Amino acid sequence: MMEQLVNILVGGPMTEWPENLIKGEIKGTWIAVDKGAIRLLNMGITPKIAVGDFDSTFDSEMDIVKKEIKQIELFPPEKDFTDTQIGVMTAIKHFPNSKIDIYGATGGRMDHLLANLFLPLDPQFKDVIKQINIIDNKNTIKFYTPGEYEIIKEVDKKYLAFVNLTSVTGLTLPDEKYTLQNFNSSYPVSWASNEFSKEINHFSFEKGIMAVIQSKD
């Protein structure tokens, strides 16, 4: 059975969007968060669900959102969750077991970027960590729990980074350009600017949560 793809658009700057999003070429179901709703509609894409407090959406834009999108879930401006968390919570609720690609989550305010990078550490998302991806015009970020993995090189990406978001035990990079054996750390470390040695590389670790980033200049 083919895995369902759910795309989430949050309110980061459009300058960070990948080209296929700008061209409207991304397949799958869309969830729009706040400003993402009017942005998708302006591109001719109607999201399945729009969520948020819509505090960054003008009244005239909100009128269009209400007219075009059938399912809107409103949240109060003072809330305990970030926009991206709300988007992921909505995806889990309505489309369980789906692959979740998040756009508009980088660039702009640094506090928003850090909140998005740390999102997989939230206990409520522990069962969906490996379903979540953050994508922009230069990076694809995937998240991992302990285990052994293979990584397939994206055709337009050169660099590969391994970032332990928590303490980590036994991090091993056996066949990347720069290898690593049984690395342990009690604090986050970014093993940046590594590269693939072939189209498919591997890594493993025994404890912690890892972000793996494929990047281009």
pLDDT in tens, 173-195: 999 999 999 999 999 999 999 99
Contact predicate 13/103, CB 8 Å: no
Domain count, the chain: 2
Kindly report whether the global pTM for this prediction surpasses the value 0.75: yes
pLDDT of residue 1: 42
The reply to whether 16 and 91 lie within a common domain is yes
The reply to whether 49 and 146 lie within a common domain is no
Distance CA 67, CA 90 (A): 21
Domain boundary among 137, 170, 186: 137
**Tokens linked to 181:** 């054996």
pLDDT of residue 2: 45
pLDDT of residue 186: 97
Distance CA 49, CA 105 (A): 18
pLDDT of residue 78: 76
Domain that holds residue 210: 138-217
With tokens 């055709």, the residue in question is: 155
Q: Which residues of the chain have pLDDT under 50?
A: 1-2
* CATH number, position 177: 3.40.50.10240
Domain boundary among 137, 156, 181: 137
β pairing state of 132-135 and 200-205: unpaired
pLDDT of residue 79: 75
Burial of 53 from C-beta contacts in 10 A (0-12 / 13-18 / 19+): middle
The reply to whether 17 and 64 lie within a common domain is yes
Distance CA 54, CA 63 (A): 12
The reply to whether 92 and 14 lie within a common domain is yes
